[in-house]
Chain A
Amino acid sequence: METLDPVLLARIQFAFTVSFHIVFPAFTIGLASYLAVLEGLWLATRKEVFLTTFKFWLPIFAVAFAMGVVSGIVMSYQFGTNWGPFAEKTAPILGPLLAYEVLTAFFLEAGFLGVMLFGLNRVGPRLHFTATVLVAVGTLISAFWILSANSWMQTPSAWVLENGRYVPESWLGVIFNPSFPYRLAHMVLAAYLTTAFAVGAVGAWHLLKDRSSKPARVMFGMAVLMAIVVAPAQLLVGDMHGLNTQEHQPAKVAAMEGHFETQRGAPLILFGLPDMDAAETRYALGIPKLGSLILKHDLDGEVTGLDAFPREDWPNVPIVFWAFRIMVGIGMLMILYGLVGAWKAARKQLFDHNWYFRWAVAMGPLGFVAVLAGWFVTEVGRQPYLVYGLLRTADVASPIGAPGVAGSLLAFFVVYMTVFSAGSFYLLRLMRRAPSATGLKQIKAGPLRSAGPGSAAVPDSEAVKETG
């Protein structure tokens, strides 16, 4: 039996920790914007229902944000612990991008999160709204920098090699590298869609119990609106992102499509079993010529297959192939959900049928699955490179032996399983609270309440406590 490969273990550890991490930013990017919209609507209309909905989602945001923060700190150290040579070679380019993320985004989010969570009774409503907006803006700025850094690793541009390091030729060229605009748009829309379907599922769940619940109607209605508008937009952006990948990382697209052979008039393979050893996709079920049409916008366009690349440059085809199908499948389901919603809304039946609510509840977690699947497509598809075409993953790992990495991986596994299963459980329990009963006692956002044991109107915890 082979001994464990420390580089493989380090890759598994990175994939494990980053997969846990990305779920939370995807949710908090969307939720922060959603909270800002809710609070803005409340300030504009003074309708109680918006504040109630805001108060309902605020502690959920806090729990998700805390999990995102702690799992994010881990990420900021892992380049050094496990990928030291990579860090040294790319630091002139990636270092400043990450430093700017910390300076422009993390401090902004962290600084105003406290005001957002604890300040409703200490500052006026307008200042509080400003804090909420700043937190939301912070999440988007953070996405900007980290996706710029990731995109540079996918499509490195504007670099020169100096003393074994990749040094920027032009900062604009580095930041706005070829795949960045597409990846940023794709990811931000993904975060919004994921959040919309999570919010919609929670709204639908409460509507199944009480169809008159106003906050639940707000959640559900806004979520369906997002599905109608954003899900098709995501298809468009995703297609553009795919074409961009086709131009810069054709091997990744070949793996996504299961195309081993370069051919004219290539089919669109719907399903099949990619077999890397045999270099073919077995039992391929495809639509003739559609592959060429989508990738080249021409029925007889030539589509590059994996045979155009040496084998040692192939990514793991089955993972990329299947992850891509999961992502696209979920995207299609979301579009379908939005279309049905538009049709029902036009007939003024949006809140009339339980089957439509149940369908929403079932769709609730799917956005997270799609986000993870999408990242597996793009990250596994970049292999065997860490920086595409420049640095091979196997060449830039820290010299840590297999027992060391195995030990840390095990520790991560145990702690993350404990923390994130408990966290998910608390999130679900917070989502289950009846939204109309969300601590309305003390939210008449007056200036300052008299603090002291007597006035201890603790809002949410009563409703949350061990309801089951």
Chain B
Amino acid sequence: MMFDMPTIWALLISFALLAYVVLDGFDLGVGILFPLGRGKDERDTLMNTVAPVWDGNETWLVLGGGGLFAAFPQAYSLLLTAFYAPVIAMLLALVLRGVAFEFRFRTERWKPFWDFAFIGGSTAAAFFQGVMVGAWVQGVKVVDGAYAGGWYDWLTPFTVLTGVSLVAGYALLGACWLVIKTEGDLQERARRLQVPLGALVVALIGIVSFGTVFTSEDVRERWFSLGSWVFLWVIPLLTLAITIAFFLAVRFKKEILPFMLALALFVASFAGLTSSLYPQLIPPSISYTAAANADGSLAFMLVGALVLLPVILGYTAYAYWLFRGKVRIGDGYH
């Protein structure tokens, strides 16, 4: 059957993860680019471009984690155990950058410390998320349903590369977001980052794709045997088109379009990665069907998800609409 419960949930969890990457991506990116702000006022403004929405953005990560537990418990258990160190590091990084949203407005003396926590936490969270993506592509050693690899299996040149790539990708989203939300000199500085970051990200997407293809023979065959998977080549072609459109939009000094196209780059990369490994959820051997929760539990949750996700998307959109427009010095409740 095409749309059995595990498949529906694989799509929903993918959607949650993608929503997380897309939403928290630019907000972590603002953290990575925080040094762009000169002086207190500019930094306050930078932070206030995301302050009303960061909490909602990060909730998608909780849905990703909680949803993985609920829908694919074996993946939740094995992957988080296998990626123990990067998971803990990412969580602690998120703690530090999350509290910085409040703390840096509560002190003068320690403001540089919380600025540093915001920058370092955002960068580290992005890096370790990227490391985990790479480690997932590499695969996880499982024997008798338990993790059987070493504690540093997640650390390889390839995973460092994917880590750096995600930092660069989030920084690009952040720069594009700041072009939308700020003005004047600050906007100009963000705008000047779009081309170099865009070029870097596109190059890294190329290298990581290349690396992914060479991690396993199955992936290689899927892409190059030109059999039933030949339609996959739509993805790289689309990526190329998005890239060209992105640089054109930047050149014509569009404000919103480059952000949307940078998001599209993420969506395309996500599609490329997942379709390379489909149907593996715990590569190289456990498929999402095998890792799925009991059907009855998936059905029980599906009722709620189908009713609630549109509502959630609705009021999330409302919050973004409410806080639309440029953020200026002095905005915020602090």
Contacts and interface: CB of A to CB of B under 8 A. Distances in A.
B151 to A, nearest CB: 6
Given A92-B293, A95-B69, A107-B316, A84 B77 contact: yes
Contacts of B106: 63, 426, 429-430, 464
B283 to A, nearest CB: 17
Contacts of B329: 453, 456
Interface in B255-285: none
A457 B103 CA distance: 20
A429 B110 CA distance: 14
B308 interface: yes
A171 B334 CA distance: 44
B323 A122 contact: yes
A150 interface: no
Nearest to B328: A451
A457 B334 CA distance: 10
Interface string A207-250: 00000000000000000000000000000000000000000000
A138 to B, nearest CB: 11
Given A96-B300, A102-B62, A102-B67, A466 B151 contact: no
Dominant SS at the A interface? helix
A373 B62 CA distance: 28
B332 A73 contact: no
B300 to A, nearest CB: 5
Nearest to A95: B70
B108 A458 contact: no
Interface residues of A, number: 85
A354 B315 CA distance: 48
Contacts of B56: 107, 110-111, 113-114
Nearest to A412: B92
Chain B, interface SS category: helix
Interface stretch (A45-53, A193-201, A321-329, A397-405): A397-405
Contacts of B312: 103, 107, 111
Contacts of B73: 87-88, 91-92, 95
Contact of B70 (A91, A416, A419, A455): A91
B78 A167 contact: no
Contacts of A91: 69-70, 73, 76, 293, 297
Interface in B53-71: 53, 55-56, 58-59, 61-63, 65-71
Give the 9 A-B CB pairs with smallest separation, nearest first.
Answer: A456-B330, A95-B70, A80-B80, A91-B73, A84-B77, A114-B52, A70-B98, A99-B70, A92-B294
Given A70-B99, A101-B66, A426-B103, 14 more contacts: A69-B55, A88-B73, A92-B293, A92-B294, A92-B297, A99-B305, A102-B62, A110-B55, A167-B296, A171-B300, A398-B84, A423-B99, A453-B329, A456-B330
Interface of B: 51-53, 55-56, 58-59, 61-63, 65-71, 73-74, 76-81, 84-85, 87-89, 91-92, 94-96, 98-99, 101-103, 105-110, 146-147, 151, 293-294, 296-297, 300-301, 304-305, 308-309, 312, 315-316, 318-319, 322-323, 328-334
Interface of A: 58-59, 62-63, 66-67, 69-74, 76-77, 79-81, 84-85, 87-88, 91-96, 98-104, 106-115, 117-120, 122-123, 162, 165, 167-168, 171, 398-401, 404, 407-408, 411-412, 415-416, 419, 422-423, 426, 429-430, 451-453, 455-461, 464-466
